[in-house]
Amino acid sequence: MKTIEFTVDAALLRELGERLVGRPYIALAELVKNSYDADATEVELRFGRDSIEIADNGNGMSFDSFRDFWMRIGSPHKEAQQTSREFGRPLTGSKGVGRLAVQLLANRLELHTVDRENVDSELTALVNWSEAVSAPELTRAKARWTDGPRTSEFPKRSPHGTRLILSELQHDWLSDAFTLLARELWTLEPPFQVGAASSEAFHVSLHHPDQEVVVKFEQQMKAVLDLWSARIVGKLLPRAESSDDRTLRVRVLFRDGTSKKTDHVIENCAIDEAEYEVRVFSLRHRQPFGISVTEARQYLRDYGGVGVYDAGFRLPYYGADSDWLDIARDAGRRLSRSELLPEELLVTEGLQYLPTNERLFGVVNVNTSHERRVAATKGKSAAREALAIQVTRDRLADNRAYHNLVEAVRFGIDLYANEEAARAYARDAMLTPVEPLHEHLERVEEVLEQFKDQIPPAVRTQLSTELESIVEAGRSEATDLARQAGLLGALATAGIATLAYEHETSKQLALLEDAADRLRQDRLTAAQRREIADDLERWVARARATRNLFGHLVTTSEREERARLRARRVVQQVAAQVRALVPSLVVDVDLLDSLRLPPAAMAEWAAIFQNLFLNAANAMLDIAEPRIWVHTGDAGNTQVIWVEDVGTGVDLETADELFRPFVRRQTVSAERQRLGMGGTGLGLAIVRMVARQANVRVRFVEPDDGYSTCVELAWKERG
C-alpha cells in the first residue's frame, strides 16, 4: 500500500491556544509560570495602553533552546526534566503549549532573551500571530529572529533573563481580571522573601496606570496569610537593671476578637532583643478570597512552620520541615500539660490542642550581630552563650541563648493551645443539654436502690412508688412542654407570615379578576385565550407556592413527630417556601446529605429557618442580588450550621440582644411590613426559643469574607 503523511493547518495554533488556555488571565499566568520554571526570582508585569510587558531575571534562552523548545509546540522536555536547571524547582508546565498563551493575548510578540551561560549575546525574535495562523501549514508558520550584543535590562539588574512585549492586545483588562490573575499565581510566591536564598525567592510585581488595580492584585497575592484563626505575638521587654532575668510579653488574639495577654519571666536570659508573630490556621470548608482549602494547606506545607530571621535574612533550617520547637515531638508523646505555663494558665488536656507545624506560619526576628556586640561588653563567658549562627550558616548555635529563644516561642504556642482548649470546653459546656427534672429524679431512684438495705422496707417501697410517679409525671410534662413550645414557635411564625399570605392573596385575586374580565369579552382570539390560560397557570403556581409556606403545619406528623431530619432536605424545603415571598432570593446550600438535625418536628425546624431567612431578607432590602449561604462544619462531637447573608450586618458586641422579644435594629418600611417581611421583633426570639427545645445553641458570629452577617446553630452529638 502507498503512504501519505498528515499535514497540520496553522490555524491549529489559534485552536489550541483558545481551548487549552481559554481565558486571558490564565494565558498571562502561563507566561509568568514559564519565568518561574526558568529560575527567575523577579517578574515584572507592565501594562501600557495597548501592550503588556513580561520581564524576568531567569535563565534566559540560547538559540538552541529557543529553536528546540520555544518554537516546538508540544515539546515534552519539561515533563522529562521535572525540575528547574539552577534551583531545582518543580516545573509548573509539562505540555509544551504555554507559549500559545501569547497569541490569545495579542497579535504581535517581541521577545528578547539572554542566556545565563552567555550574557554577552542577546536573541531577539518577532512573531506576527495573524500571519502565523494564516500560513497554509503549521510547519510553514514563521518567527523572525536575530542575535547581537546584549542591550536589554532585566529585573534586579540581572545580566540574563527574558523580556516579552505583547502588542495589539486582543482583550480589555478590567479590574477583576487582575484579582483572577493573582489567584493563578499566589502559590508560587513565598510569603516573606527579604534576605531569602535565591532558590526560595519569587516575586511578581504589577505596574499599572490605575493604582487601585495594583493594590487589589497585591492583596490577593498575600491573601492566604489573612486566613488565620489566631495570632500569637511575643516580645522581650527591655532589661531591668542589675538582673539577668527578662520578661516576655505574649498576646494571643483570636479571629472572633477575643484575646489573652500575659507576661512570662525567662530566668538568666542570654538574649537582648527578640520578637515574633505566629499565625495559626484552621483550614476547613470554603475559604475567602477564592482560595481553596487544598491550595492553602499545600502552601503551608511548603512555606509554613516558624522561621527565624536574622536581621531580615531567613535562616534556611527553620520552617515546616524542622521541628526545632519540639511541637511534633510533644504531639507524638501525647503530652497534655505544658511545663512552661504557670498553674493558673493551665487547662485540662491543654496541650492536646497544640497545632501542628503545618498549621503554623511564624516569623521570629533576632539580630545576632547586635547580640554579639552586647555580649562582648559582658566578657568571654557571656559571648559564648550569646545568640550566634553556626559555621554552616544555616542555623543558630545550640547554647543558652538559643534555648531561651525556644522557650520564648513555645511559651506563646503553649498559651494558645491552653486558651483554645478553654474555648472548646466553653463551647461544649454551652452545648451540653440542660438535664430535665425527671432525669435528676431517676438518679435519685438509683441512689435509693443502692442503699436499699439501709432503709426500712416499708419506707423504701413508699419512696419508690412516689418517685416513680413523680418521674413519670416529669417525663410527661417535659415532653408536653417541648412539643408545645415547638408548636407555639411554628404557629407564631405562621401568624407573622399570614400578613404576607394576605398580601399575596390580594395580588392573586386581582389577577383572577382581570382574567375574568377578559373572558367576558364577546370574541376572543386564539392568542388571547392562550394568554389567559398562561395567566391562570401562573396563578395556580403562585397559589401553590404561597400555600406551601404553611405546608409543614398541615399534617399531624410534621407538627408533632420529633425525629432526626436530614438538614439539607429541610433547608431546601424552607428556602423554596420563602422564595414565594422573596422571588429574587438565592439560597446556596452546602450541606452533606448525611447530616441530620437534632430531634425535633418539621414544624419546629421550619420555624427556625423561615425566621432566619426572612430576617436575612429584611437586611438585604437594598441589595440587588440577595444571597444566603447555608454551610456546615464540625469539631469533634460538636456539629455546626452557619447561615450567612450579604445584608447590612450586625454589631457582634450587642447582637445577642436581638434574640430578645420586640428588639430590632433593622428599620422595616411600612410597605415591607404590609408584605409580611417582618418588623415585629419576634423572629429571632422564636428561633432561640424553638432551638433551645432541641438543645441547639443559636448566636451571631463573625461572618466569612464576602458576607456581612452569620448566625450559628450548634449542637453536641451524643455518643
Answer with the residue of higher pLDDT: 365 or 513.
365
Cα 329 → chain centroid: 29
CA–CA separation, 32 and 282 (whole Å): 30
User: Do the beta carbons of residue 58 and residue 188 sit within 8 Å?
Assistant: no
Query: At residue 438, does pLDDT exceed 60?
Result: no
Query: At residue 398, does pLDDT exceed 80?
Result: yes
Query: At residue 192, does pLDDT exceed 70?
Result: no
All cell numbers assigned to 185 = 499565581
Burial class for 427, CB neighbours closer than 10 Å (0-12, 13-18, 19+): middle
All cell numbers assigned to 113 = 532573551
* Beta strands 106-114 and 161-169, pairing class: antiparallel
Mean pLDDT rounded to a whole number for the chain: 79
Query: At residue 573, does pLDDT exceed 70?
Result: yes
Type and span of the H or E element at 410? helix 400-431
CA–CA separation, 84 and 495 (whole Å): 69
Between helix 211-221 and helix 175-185 the angle, nearest 10°, is: 30
CA–CA separation, 194 and 130 (whole Å): 43
Cα 267 → chain centroid: 41
Highest-scoring range by mean pLDDT, 193-202, 348-357, 673-682: 348-357
Question: Which residues are 375's β-sheet partners?
Answer: none
For the chain, the distance separating the N- and C-terminal CA atoms, rounded to the nearest angstrom, is 75
Contacts of 483 by beta carbon, 8 Å cutoff, 6+ apart: 560, 562, 601
- Identify the pLDDT of residue 94: 43
Query: At residue 53, does pLDDT exceed 50?
Result: yes
- Label residue 540 left, alpha or beta by phi (over 0 means left) and psi (-120 to 50 means alpha): alpha
Answer with the residue of higher pLDDT: 637 or 158.
158
All cell numbers assigned to 478 = 417535659
Burial class for 616, CB neighbours closer than 10 Å (0-12, 13-18, 19+): buried
User: Do the beta carbons of residue 251 and residue 260 sit within 8 Å?
Assistant: yes
> Which 8-state DSSP code applies to residue 41?
S
CA–CA separation, 323 and 314 (whole Å): 16
CA–CA separation, 145 and 164 (whole Å): 14
In the structure, what pLDDT confidence band is assigned to residue 331 with cuts at 50, 70 and 90? confident
Highest-scoring range by mean pLDDT, 69-73, 208-212, 560-564, 620-624: 208-212
Q: How many helices (H) and strands (E) does the chain have?
A: 21, 19
Cβ atoms within 10 A of the Cβ of 478, count? 15
User: Do the beta carbons of residue 64 and residue 87 sit within 8 Å?
Assistant: no
In the structure, what pLDDT confidence band is assigned to residue 139 with cuts at 50, 70 and 90? low
CA–CA separation, 215 and 634 (whole Å): 35
Contacts of 462 by beta carbon, 8 Å cutoff, 6+ apart: none
Between helix 457-519 and helix 526-547 the angle, nearest 10°, is: 170
- Identify the pLDDT of residue 543: 64
Cβ atoms within 10 A of the Cβ of 110, count? 16
- Identify the pLDDT of residue 195: 47
Cβ atoms within 10 A of the Cβ of 634, count? 14
Q: Mean pLDDT over residues 264-279, rounded?
A: 93
Q: Mean pLDDT over residues 250-263, rounded?
A: 90
Query: At residue 346, does pLDDT exceed 80?
Result: yes
Burial class for 258, CB neighbours closer than 10 Å (0-12, 13-18, 19+): exposed
All cell numbers assigned to 557 = 406528623
Three-state SS for 158-206 is ECCEEEEEEEEECCCCCHHHHHHHHHHHHHHCCCCCCCCCHHHCCEEEE
In the structure, what pLDDT confidence band is assigned to residue 248 with cuts at 50, 70 and 90? very high
- Give pLDDT tens digits for 462-486: 777 776 777 666 665 555 555 555 5
- Give pLDDT tens digits for 215-241: 989 988 888 888 888 999 999 998 877
Cβ atoms within 10 A of the Cβ of 399, count? 14
- Identify the pLDDT of residue 671: 45
In the structure, what pLDDT confidence band is assigned to residue 549 with cuts at 50, 70 and 90? low
Query: At residue 559, does pLDDT exceed 70?
Result: no
Type and span of the H or E element at 689? helix 683-693
Q: Which domains does the chain have, with CATH numbers?
A: 12-221 (3.30.565.10), 226-430 (no CATH), 478-716 (3.30.565.10)
User: Do the beta carbons of residue 356 and residue 328 sit within 8 Å?
Assistant: yes
- Identify the pLDDT of residue 658: 82
User: Do the beta carbons of residue 198 and residue 87 sit within 8 Å?
Assistant: yes
CA–CA separation, 712 and 659 (whole Å): 13
- Identify the pLDDT of residue 326: 92
Sign of CA dihedral 188, 194, 197, 198: positive
In the structure, what pLDDT confidence band is assigned to residue 91 with cuts at 50, 70 and 90? confident
User: Do the beta carbons of residue 338 and residue 344 sit within 8 Å?
Assistant: no
Question: pTM value?
Answer: 0.55
- Identify the pLDDT of residue 50: 92
CA–CA separation, 676 and 686 (whole Å): 16
CA–CA separation, 99 and 623 (whole Å): 43
Query: At residue 164, does pLDDT exceed 60?
Result: yes
Q: How far is CA 82 from CA 37, 115, 591, 717, in A?
A: 10, 20, 40, 48
Which of 565, 567, 711, 706 is CA-nearest to residue 226? Answer: 706
Give the ranges where 564-621 is alpha helix by DSSP (H).
Answer: 567-578, 602-618
- Identify the pLDDT of residue 198: 59
- Give pLDDT tens digits for 647-693: 888 888 778 878 776 555 554 444 444 444 444 556 788 888 888 87
User: Do the beta carbons of residue 314 and residue 196 sit within 8 Å?
Assistant: yes
- For 650-661, b/e burial (b = at least 16 CB within 10 A) is bebeebeebbee
CA–CA separation, 696 and 713 (whole Å): 6
Query: At residue 300, does pLDDT exceed 80?
Result: yes
CA–CA separation, 497 and 555 (whole Å): 18
CA–CA separation, 61 and 175 (whole Å): 33
Cβ atoms within 10 A of the Cβ of 62, count? 18
- Identify the pLDDT of residue 670: 47
